[in-house]
Amino acid sequence: MNTEKRPGRQYRHYSTVTLAFVVVFLCSNLIGPAKGAQLDLPLLGTVTFGAGVIFFPISFIFGDILTEVYGYSAARRVIWSGFAAMVFASAMAALIVALPPAPWWPHQHAYEVAFGNAWRVVAASLVAYCCGEFVNSYILARLKVLTAGRHLWLRTIGSTIFGEAVDSSIFYPLAFWDAGIFPNEQIPLIMLMQFLVKTSVEVLFTPLTYWVVATLKRVEHEDWYDRDTDFNPFRLGSEGR
């Protein structure tokens, strides 16, 4: 297995994984977060959570795959790609909400409810996203070196616990405290449920993560170890050194 990156090396599936990561991230922030959902589950009873929880754990799984196969510096570029895409999408949403509606179009209020709070949701999401994703990627990269590449499950689940804890504890208070969408007293419960559900999704997807990682390593002939990596999240050089 090749563990040395060559200058200018091209990967077959890196762009595909990048695209999937960005799409999932956009969906998780534009479609789901403003809706509070509630389910009655066996043993757990009534569970309240933000609907974005359906999407967001998948972005952490893609982050794990990127770091595990291609390394922290490759994941860092993808994280910033997601950041740029979200800034653009939120700017377009704000512009469209602000456009005067046609007299015959009766849905302006519904559109404002769905996207009018986008500026605050997006700002909170971008802060939480950057903090959570970089924590997730950093911990996974460091654990890979410490474990000499063994125990992938420990790296993916362990990094997700820390990354999701950071993300959930930042996002909901910044996005929804006193915003009139969720009662303030419900926000800590939603944060906790979001963390538990996201982490549970990571655990459930572990077999799939193993398969994807093994397939990419074999096809790409890459299995990067971040032994000498510069972990500065703001450095965007090709190898981050």
pLDDT above 70 (res 168): yes
Mean pLDDT of the residues in the chain:
82
Q: 0.95 cut: is pTM over it?
A: no
Residue 102 is given by DSSP the state P
CA-only gyration radius of the chain, Å:
19
End-to-end CA distance of the chain: 22
Which tens digits make up the pLDDT trace of 89-111?
A: 888 888 888 888 888 888 888 77
The Cα 64–Cα 75 span in angstroms is: 9
Going along the chain from its start, the domains and CATH numbers come out as: 14-220 (1.10.1760)
What tokens were used for 38? 């509630």
Backbone φ, ψ for residue 118 (5° rounding): -60, -35
Compute the half-sphere exposure of residue 198: CA atoms within 13 Å on the CB side of its CA.
Answer: 34
Q: Quick one: pLDDT at residue 8? A: 58
Q: Quick one: pLDDT at residue 113? A: 72
The Cα 185–Cα 178 span in angstroms is: 10
Cβ atoms of residues 122 and 29 within 8 Å: yes
In which band, very low, low, confident or very high, does the pLDDT at 241 lie, cut at 50, 70 and 90?
very low
Candidate from 9-18, 94-103, 117-126, 210-219 with smallest mean pLDDT: 117-126
Asked whether the CA dihedral 141, 77, 85, 209 is positive or negative, the reply is: negative
In which band, very low, low, confident or very high, does the pLDDT at 34 lie, cut at 50, 70 and 90?
low
Length of the chain: 241
Q: Quick one: pLDDT at residue 240? A: 44
Residue 180 is given by DSSP the state S
Which tens digits make up the pLDDT trace of 65-94?
A: 999 999 999 999 999 998 899 888 888 888
Q: Quick one: pLDDT at residue 211? A: 93
In which band, very low, low, confident or very high, does the pLDDT at 6 lie, cut at 50, 70 and 90?
very low
CB atoms within 10 A of CB 20: 17
